[in-house]
Amino acid sequence: MDWSVIVMQLFTGLSLGMLYVLLALGLSIIFGLLTVVNFAHGAMFMWGAYAGVSIVAMTGNFWLALIAAPLVMGGYGLIVEKGVIRPLYGRDINYPLLLTFGLQFIMVEIIRIFWGTSDQPFTAPELLSMPVELFGVFYFPSYRLFLIGMTIAICIVLWFFLEKTNLGLIIRAGTRDALMVRALGIDMGRIWWIVFGIGAGLAGIAGVLASPITSVYPEMGIPMLVQCFVVVVVGGMGSLKGAIVAGIIMGEASALTTLFYPPMADIVIFLVMAVVLLIRPSGLFGRAGLLE
């Protein structure tokens, strides 16, 4: 097989992995601080896509959708945290899990009622719809390159926010020992609130970014959620570095398997998960004991 095909496949895997990374980051940041396993994350991803579709339908502007949809979803996340998740803090980890599990069905059903079950068209802007030549040997969709770039940019912003700002410092401290941070006179409830909003916003932006690639329909978040849980578990629950590394590994694993043996492509991520968990039960970068 030609080496250029393999390089192209590696690029494909990278772009595939980027969507996993974006979603897994949101899941992981929420879990790391709040220990809430957000089962509605896939539905938030889907709502992000529908928010994008609506904004594009109203204004015809993809870039506006890219900015506004995550803000809308972030706001939604703030409402959800304050309205239904907050009362469950301090209870068993299963309570928010079951709650968000139910929430996802409500969210899917709302879309079915107002938008119907059929697919919504969503095309990439003219500028990004043409394939570009890479290294003079193969064509690659410019939109996927944009997706890779956007994800890297978001990761950098997120890193900067967590490492270099005061709020980031508090979040990191809260992840280690929330009780201690509270003892220092910081309102952790507020921090949790903000972090849930950030996680939902990340799901929203992932939804908009995924729309030109796949079809937009009410159940689009369900397969993504499964794959992203795998990514989060492999990376280590609550670890952002883990989410990024595992997301890329999973994208590449799935792409390369498709190239060499397509029938395995669907299950290879579970195989990788099994192997990783056998060697490192708490994931690649996971801290033990977070779930207890």
Partner 1 sequence: MSKSKTKKGKSEGISRRTFLKTSGIAVGAAALGGFHFVPKARAAGPVKLGAPFPFTGPYGTEATDQRGGVELAVAEINHEGGVLGRKVEVHFRDTKLKADEAARRAKELIESVGVDCMTGALSASNQLAINEQCKLAGIPYVSVSQSNEITERRDGSIYTYHEAMNPHMTTQAVGKWVAENFGKRWYFLTSDYAYGWQLTDGFRRKGKEFGIVDVGETKHPLGAGDFSAYMPRILAANPDVLIIDNFGKDQINSIKQATAFGLKKKMQIIAPILLMSSRLGAGEAAFDGVAGGTSFYWDMDIPSTKKFVEAFQKFYGRPPIDYAGYAYSGVKELLSAVNRAGSFDPVGIAEAIEDRTYDTYKGKQWWRPCDHQSQQDVFIIRSKKATEKYDVFEVITTVSGDNERLLRTCVEVGQNPNKPMRKGLLDKHKK
Q: What is the DSSP letter of 184?
A: T
CA angle 44, 48, 49 (to 5 degrees): 120
Interaction between residue 119 and partner 1 (CB under 8 A): yes
Interaction between residue 150 and partner 1 (CB under 8 A): no
Interaction between residue 117 and partner 1 (CB under 8 A): yes
C-beta of 223: minimal distance to partner 1 in Å?
A: 6
CB 222 within 8 A of CB 99: no
C-beta of 27: minimal distance to partner 1 in Å?
A: 18
Q: How far apart are CA 25 and CA 27, in angstroms?
A: 5
Interaction between residue 219 and partner 1 (CB under 8 A): yes
Interaction between residue 229 and partner 1 (CB under 8 A): no
Interaction between residue 124 and partner 1 (CB under 8 A): yes
Interaction between residue 24 and partner 1 (CB under 8 A): no
Stretch that binds partner 1, among 21-29, 96-104, 140-148, 276-284 (CB under 8 A): 140-148
Interaction between residue 177 and partner 1 (CB under 8 A): no
Cα dihedral angle (147, 151, 152, 156), rounded to 10 degrees?
A: 150
- When binding is defined by CB under 8 A, the residue of 60, 87, 102, 131 that contacts partner 1 is 131
Tokens of 233: 């578990």
C-beta of 12: minimal distance to partner 1 in Å?
A: 5
Q: Given the complex with partner 1, which of 178 and 213 has the nearer CB atom?
A: 213
What letters, b where the CB count within 10 A reaches 16 and e where it falls short, cover 65-92? bbebbbebbbebbbebbeeebeebeeee
CB 241 within 8 A of CB 235: yes
Q: Given the complex with partner 1, which of 132 and 288 has the nearer CB atom?
A: 132
Interaction between residue 59 and partner 1 (CB under 8 A): no
Half-sphere exposure of residue 282: CA atoms within 13 angstroms, side-chain side: 11
Interaction between residue 138 and partner 1 (CB under 8 A): yes
Interaction between residue 144 and partner 1 (CB under 8 A): yes
Report phi then psi at 139, rounded to 5.
Answer: -95, 145
- When binding is defined by CB under 8 A, the residue of 83, 185, 262, 281 that contacts partner 1 is 262
Q: How far apart are CA 156 and CA 144, in angstroms?
A: 18
3-state secondary structure of 244: helix
- When binding is defined by CB under 8 A, the residue of 263, 279, 281, 292 that contacts partner 1 is 263
C-beta of 61: minimal distance to partner 1 in Å?
A: 16
CA distances from 155 to 114, 149, 222, 249 (A): 34, 10, 24, 16
C-beta of 229: minimal distance to partner 1 in Å?
A: 16
Q: Which residues bind partner 1 (CB under 8 A)?
A: 1-2, 5, 8-9, 12-13, 15-16, 116-124, 129-131, 138-141, 143-144, 212-215, 217, 219, 223-224, 254-255, 258-259, 262-263, 265-266
